[in-house]
A and B are shown apart, each in its own frame.
Chain A
């Protein structure tokens, strides 16, 4: 989907992005992870040409981005940023409709799409369509920002620390919804963050960046189990590594399917198979039990997960 080939960007002679090469396959959720100034935001903005590279080529869907007019390229790519950048003088509906209108969709299709997206981001269309950004809470603004990025159904979504400015509870809900949207739409997402837990929760691949280079490109699990160098293991942190490992594994990986072991049954609200083991542990602790049922979205029982399965 995205291929960077020896991409370099310099400011005042200093390489902020230094000879960077990597591929992001279609459908991936790629997190660019690193401290501030490591070049992760710059890399993101090179992809939709908000910044022009000094050297190297970037291909999106096989096409060299410099061969397209920048505006046409950007209209194909969803873009969401930390401070949302919602237009304060436009209603939520007008904000979401920005790119579809630039692409000259018919009005009826724009209206239907706006309502569809508001519902997807759990904002009641009737209540939120006509509101102005300043009438929304920080979390609602961020939802509107994500809806706006998704509006024209782009194949690729670029997100620059979109949840960094919201409170932890709202951030948790937004992460859950973004993960759900990614699973259900199979869009390619490139997501910039400095928050390791956010990266572990959302990513299918993580690029840890340092000084404009990639320190390691790996799946969340590999990153935790096999850090490539001292920088990565420091960044990932020894503290709470076990819990981090739990957070990148899913209940589905460890559950005992129905009927496999006779007598295995559990009481209570079932967990979804895509729940992380960390959340499963939290649920067990909270409910004072060592086993919980697992069921799919339609409520069909899939099996059981026990405390010993978590640490197996």
Chain B
């Protein structure tokens, strides 16, 4: 594609023809279509350790699923070109959800067909075209939800509907022949343990981080002199690379365990969950302290003044006025921290803390990318799920964060 030479003709609406109702959706459809045409929908490898040969959508999935995916894409293209209206956004969101689920089904069916022909050692993994179409469909859903100004109930319903469709496909065995599912099948016991351990690492570090960070944030607001040194320390901690911090903690914690056998008996040591949790707590402190302080400092002084003037005690002012008014900012901080901790906990597998990172590093070691995905995808969905949950809670607060 060549750009027009004259900047004047390129300027209006990024060179899109006038009258495009939804440029975002248009770009998504074009990207997905280009990816579907140019790259493999799935990849076939003779075994799990070598990279596969890409197979296009039509030859991998057959005529009917290809037509279904193409038809949904065409309908979304039409929706992008029409003038924006509410029913259109709702329809486009539904179409995009259908596209996501039919792409998943097409990939699963393609894997079953190809694997049956190729023998038991062969692996069918997901290709670039699949990821592009799925990502574009997901982004289109998000975009349409925003244009619909969907409330928390509608968003939750949409997520549940898509998750339900995915679960139904999974239970029907649609995905069983995909390489990632076969990696899962040989490890489902380990997977459950790793997922549980991952959640435990996150919960185990968020608890102390909140118990520590929340009072520190309050102290930072009440005692302004404290702010400089406190944030200097926390900012410095945040700049230490995570792998380095995990490594640095091995020495003091093994020394501690050696000096105090009681602690060692409790599982504290240079490697394992203890240094992981210590590091995750340290990383979580900055966002928690910063958001607690910002949330409390952002409250209109007149509100506090009025509360005092009416005879509320310090305690009543804190629990009835400051805490609820700061809660949107506090929840925003909690969202950041949860997403960050779920991601960082993957790295904690390096020092033997377990969790989903185990699969990521094992997969990297074997160059088995589907095993990497088995660790990475659940971590991503865990983070997205936590973020969505807290966003819903924030939206259900009885008042807006800003006035």
Given contacts A50-B309, A72-B311, contact A83 B300 (CB under 8 A): yes
Indicate which residue in B306, B316, B325, B403 contacts A85 across the interface (CB closer than 8 Å): B306
CB distance from A10 to the nearest CB of B (A): 21
One digit per residue, 1 when the CB lies within 8 angstroms of any chain B CB and 0 when it does not, for chain A 87-118 equals: 11100000000110010000000000000000
Assess the B312–A85 pair: CB atoms within 8 A: no
Chain A neighbourhood of B313, CB < 8 A: 71
Indicate which residue in A50, A79, A89, A99 contacts B399 across the interface (CB closer than 8 Å): A89
Chain A neighbourhood of B312, CB < 8 A: 71, 98, 102
Assess the B310–A81 pair: CB atoms within 8 A: no
Assess the B306–A74 pair: CB atoms within 8 A: no
Chain B neighbourhood of A158, CB < 8 A: 309
CB distance from B209 to the nearest CB of A (A): 26
CB distance from A253 to the nearest CB of B (A): 37
Q: Which of B307-363 contact A (CB under 8 A)?
A: 307-313, 316, 321, 324-325
Assess the A86–B306 pair: CB atoms within 8 A: yes
- Measured in the bound complex, the distance between the Cα atoms of B309 and A85 in whole Å is 10
Indicate which residue in A70, A73, A84, A102 contacts B306 across the interface (CB closer than 8 Å): A84
Assess the B306–A81 pair: CB atoms within 8 A: yes
Is residue A132 within 8 Å, beta carbon to beta carbon, of the partner chain?
yes
Assess the A81–B399 pair: CB atoms within 8 A: no
Is residue A148 within 8 Å, beta carbon to beta carbon, of the partner chain?
yes
Is residue B400 within 8 Å, beta carbon to beta carbon, of the partner chain?
yes
Is residue B63 within 8 Å, beta carbon to beta carbon, of the partner chain?
no
Q: Give the nearest-CB partner of B316 in chain A.
A: A102
Assess the A132–B311 pair: CB atoms within 8 A: no
Assess the B303–A74 pair: CB atoms within 8 A: no
Is residue A48 within 8 Å, beta carbon to beta carbon, of the partner chain?
yes
CB distance from B401 to the nearest CB of A (A): 10
CB distance from A110 to the nearest CB of B (A): 14
Chain B neighbourhood of A89, CB < 8 A: 324-325, 398-399
Is residue A201 within 8 Å, beta carbon to beta carbon, of the partner chain?
no
Is residue A186 within 8 Å, beta carbon to beta carbon, of the partner chain?
no
Assess the A50–B305 pair: CB atoms within 8 A: yes
Assess the B399–A48 pair: CB atoms within 8 A: no
- Measured in the bound complex, the distance between the Cα atoms of B399 and A84 in whole Å is 18
Is residue B64 within 8 Å, beta carbon to beta carbon, of the partner chain?
no
Is residue A254 within 8 Å, beta carbon to beta carbon, of the partner chain?
no
Chain A neighbourhood of B233, CB < 8 A: none
Q: Which of B367-403 contact A (CB under 8 A)?
A: 398-400, 403
- Measured in the bound complex, the distance between the Cα atoms of B309 and A158 in whole Å is 10
Chain B interface residue number, banded? 20 to 34
- Measured in the bound complex, the distance between the Cα atoms of B381 and A122 in whole Å is 54
Chain B neighbourhood of A82, CB < 8 A: 302
- Measured in the bound complex, the distance between the Cα atoms of B370 and A95 in whole Å is 58
Assess the A74–B310 pair: CB atoms within 8 A: yes
Assess the B310–A99 pair: CB atoms within 8 A: yes
Is residue A226 within 8 Å, beta carbon to beta carbon, of the partner chain?
no
Is residue A134 within 8 Å, beta carbon to beta carbon, of the partner chain?
yes
CB distance from A296 to the nearest CB of B (A): 37
- Measured in the bound complex, the distance between the Cα atoms of B316 and A74 in whole Å is 14
- Measured in the bound complex, the distance between the Cα atoms of B300 and A88 in whole Å is 10
Indicate which residue in A48, A88, A132 contacts B325 across the interface (CB closer than 8 Å): A88
CB distance from B328 to the nearest CB of A (A): 10
Given contacts A83-B300, A132-B399, A134-B403, contact A75 B307 (CB under 8 A): no
Assess the A83–B302 pair: CB atoms within 8 A: yes
Assess the A87–B303 pair: CB atoms within 8 A: yes
Assess the A79–B310 pair: CB atoms within 8 A: yes
Assess the B398–A102 pair: CB atoms within 8 A: no
Q: Which of A141-197 contact B (CB under 8 A)?
A: 145, 148, 158
CB distance from A246 to the nearest CB of B (A): 36
Q: Give the nearest-CB partner of B325 in chain A.
A: A89
Q: Which of B243-302 contact A (CB under 8 A)?
A: 300, 302
- Measured in the bound complex, the distance between the Cα atoms of B161 and A107 in whole Å is 43
Indicate which residue in A132, A133, A148 contacts B310 across the interface (CB closer than 8 Å): A148
CB distance from B312 to the nearest CB of A (A): 7
Q: Give the nearest-CB partner of A151 in chain B.
A: B310
Chain B neighbourhood of A134, CB < 8 A: 399-400, 403
- Measured in the bound complex, the distance between the Cα atoms of B308 and A86 in whole Å is 12
Chain B neighbourhood of A75, CB < 8 A: 310-311
Assess the A87–B321 pair: CB atoms within 8 A: yes
Assess the B302–A85 pair: CB atoms within 8 A: yes
- Measured in the bound complex, the distance between the Cα atoms of B307 and A145 in whole Å is 12
Indicate which residue in A71, A79, A88 contacts B303 across the interface (CB closer than 8 Å): A88
Q: Give the nearest-CB partner of B313 in chain A.
A: A71
CB distance from A284 to the nearest CB of B (A): 42
- For the complex of A and B, the 6 pairs showing the least CB-CB separation, nearest first, are A85-B306, A74-B311, A79-B309, A75-B311, A83-B302, A85-B302
Additional A-B contact list (4), CB under 8 Å, known A50-B308, A89-B399, A134-B403 = A86-B303, A98-B310, A99-B310, A132-B399
What would be 13 A-B contacts, judged by CB atoms less than 8 Å apart? A50-B305, A50-B308, A71-B312, A74-B310, A81-B305, A81-B306, A83-B302, A84-B306, A85-B304, A85-B305, A87-B303, A99-B310, A132-B399
Binding site for B on A (CB under 8 A): 48, 50, 70-75, 79, 81-89, 98-99, 102, 132-134, 145, 148, 158
